[in-house]
Amino acid sequence: MAISLKRRNILPGFGLTMGFTLLYMSLIVLIPLSTIFLKSSEMTWAQFCHVVTAPRVLASYKLSFGASLVAALINILFGSLVAWVLVRYSFPCKQIIDGLVDLPFALPTAVGGIALTTVYASTGWIGRLLEPWGIKAAFSPLGIVIALTFIGLPFVVRTVQPVLQDFDREIEEASATLGANRLQTFIRVILPGVLPSILTGFTLAFARAVGEYGSVVFISGNMPLRTEIAPFLIMTKLDQFDYTGATAIAAVMLVVSFVLLLAINMLQWWSGRQKAAD
């Protein structure tokens, strides 16, 4: 007689753990975010459209999402390069450099913004070198990209680094044995293996950059229609006690960010399936 054995789990059953998951997500994420839409609903549709489509607001949206996208793309390249160097090479002070990667995590964002402004201003160490070339870093969109790149770098490095560490070097050796050069080995062997982690790092860096405030508010200059990001505009409306206007802008940012992240996650899922199929 066959005896069916029920799999025993260390944690409680699905119903109980799912209940705690939904409760936790509701208290921490869903209920707080829902208040944004509830507060915005106090406005009529015409008032809502007037607020979120004002030229100053549209300029802040364009700058926030555009700078975040550029910074995340920069971090894909250089963050992956940093992860490669930390995994594949041994050199003096490697542990120190590895620890410096996490510095933007621990450093208060306002401190990072002040430091970047000091360095990249026209009188700063780097800013004075860029000034003769007509490049203005601080108080410009370029400064915003620099700040967002600074806070997003650890997300890419720490996401790609473990994948490279677990990557089987024998596969690369087999590729070389079969006559592939270094570029072919990287494109056909290494890149497909690390692509899902690169997309994950890009998603995290982009999401972090969209909502960044502290490190950007100093180096941007906060000039309307030029260097004013959407989070700063929300804070400005809150200081003016325009709570419905602030929540309306925040609601648009929340919806657009969710759609973009969903699209990136779908791309990551598709990339993972393609890798599994191969």
Tokens coding 259: 């759609």
Do residues 147 and 215 touch, judged by C-beta distance below 8 A?
yes
Quick one: pLDDT at residue 1? 43
Q: How far apart are CA 278 and CA 269, in angstroms?
A: 14
Full-model pTM: 0.85
Do residues 157 and 204 touch, judged by C-beta distance below 8 A?
no
The Cα angle at residue 129 between residues 74 and 72, in degrees rounded to 5: 10
- The H-or-E segment that residue 62 falls in is helix 55-88
Q: How far apart are CA 138 and CA 118, in angstroms?
A: 9
The residues of the chain scoring below 50 in pLDDT are: 1-5
Rg (CA), the chain: 23
- The residue with tokens 């005896």 is 3
Do residues 144 and 67 touch, judged by C-beta distance below 8 A?
yes
Give the count of beta carbons closer than 10 Å to the beta carbon of residue 75.
Answer: 29
Quick one: pLDDT at residue 11? 61
Quick one: pLDDT at residue 73? 94
Quick one: pLDDT at residue 56? 92
Give the count of beta carbons closer than 10 Å to the beta carbon of residue 236.
Answer: 18
Do residues 88 and 164 touch, judged by C-beta distance below 8 A?
yes
Over residues 100-127, the pLDDT tens digits come to: 898 888 888 888 889 999 999 888 889 8
Domain boundaries, the chain: 43-277
What is the CATH architecture assignment of 43-277? Orthogonal Bundle (1.10)
Which residues are CB-contacts of 8 (< 8 A; sequence separation ≥ 6)?
none
Quick one: pLDDT at residue 4? 47
Question: What single letter denotes the amino acid at residue 2?
Answer: A
